[in-house]
Amino acid sequence: MRDNQNLQNRFLRQLDIVPPEKLSFPVTVIGAGAIGSATVATLAKMGCSDITVWDADTLEDINIPNQLCKPAMISRPKVEALAELVDELTEIQIKQVNRRYMGQSLEGVVIVTVDNMTTRQKVWKRVKLNRKIPLLIDARMGAEFARIYTIRPLNIEEADFYEQNLYSNDDAEHLPCSARSIIYCPTVIAGYIALLVKQHALSRPIPREVLIDLPNLLLQT
């Protein structure tokens, strides 16, 4: 990244909203799919410069309409393709972990954007009561609807609330392949996640659960 003066110039139009130096903490994103790719690009555009991304998948043709990637990137690892795109857009180099998350140690703000509950349970085992992790953001999307949890792992009440919403893969809603995602959903969700990260950076209140109903233009905390 550029020096501090150039950073101030680059982010001039948002300095009164959140200056980039407030966003220097580590951010870990588990999942580089629809929500994950849009979230990482949005956070980097906002000024987050210490981003690590986990994903073991490769890009397929069906990913092109609903993920931030180029058609020429098909068959490449998602984290590699995303890192290249983010570098082109922002000059920020994200840390790539081209593996499935299996319970490894984590730090910083952790954002979960995967499509299965098993991985969420593994993340939570590492996050709960972990002093290195001030915030967990868990974004879940089904077609045009989303539910986002924002949990402080050291807060017992919030931790208990989150655990009540950690169900199994069998209990999750299964949508037909042709109704799982459309691009305006992950981009809206990514924007809201970035807002949550900004609120955290400025020590402002954050709702622990948000429901987003895009067809009806509703957002409920």
User: What would the 3-class secondary structure string for the chain be?
Assistant: CCCHHHHHHHCHHHCCCCCHHHHCCCEEEECCCHHHHHHHHHHHHHCCCCEEEECCCECCHHHCCCCCCCHHHCCCEHHHHHHHHHHHHHCCCCEEECCCCCCCCCCCEEEECCCCHHHHHHHHHHHCCCCCCCCEEEEEEECCEEEEEEECCCCHHHHHHHHCCCCCHHHCCCCCHHHCCCCHHHHHHHHHHHHHHHHHHCCCCCCCEEEEECCCCEEEC
pLDDT computed for residue 6 by the predictor: 73
The residue-averaged pLDDT of 141-150 equals 94
Label residue 157 exposed, middle or buried (CB < 10 Å: 0-12, 13-18, 19+).
Answer: exposed
What pLDDT sits at residue 3?
Answer: 64
List pLDDT tens digits, range 110-138.
999 999 999 999 999 999 999 999 999 99
Q: What is the pLDDT of residue 176?
A: 55
Count the Cβ atoms, other than its own, within 10 Å of residue 155: 13
Give the mean pLDDT of 101-107.
96
Distance in angstroms between the alpha carbons of the first and the last residue of the chain? 36
The residue behind tokens 């931030």 is 68
Instruction: Considering only residues 176 and 9, tell me which one the structure prediction assigns the higher pLDDT.
Output: 9
Q: How high is the pLDDT of residue 208? A: 97
Residue 4 pLDDT greater than 80, yes or no: no
Closest to 78 measured CA to CA, from 40, 111, 48: 40
Q: What is the pLDDT of residue 107?
A: 94
| Distances 35 to 10, 15, 18, 205, 219 between C-alpha atoms, Å | 26, 26, 22, 23, 17
**In the predicted structure, residue 2 carries a pLDDT above the cut 60:** no
For 54, residues 6+ apart whose C-beta sits below 8 A from its C-beta are 28, 29, 30, 31, 32, 79, 97, 99, 100, 101
Q: What is the mean pLDDT of residues 183-207?
A: 97
pLDDT digits (tens, 9 = 90+) for 146-191: 999 999 999 999 999 999 999 877 766 555 554 577 999 999 999 9
Tens-place pLDDT, residues 78-88: 999 999 999 99
Mean model confidence pLDDT for the chain: 93
Going from the N-terminus, what domains does the chain have, and what CATH number goes with each? 15-220 (3.40.50.720)
pLDDT exceeds 70 at position 49: yes
CA distances from 215 to 36, 74, 93, 144 (A): 22, 30, 35, 7
Task: Name residue 108's amino acid.
Answer: G
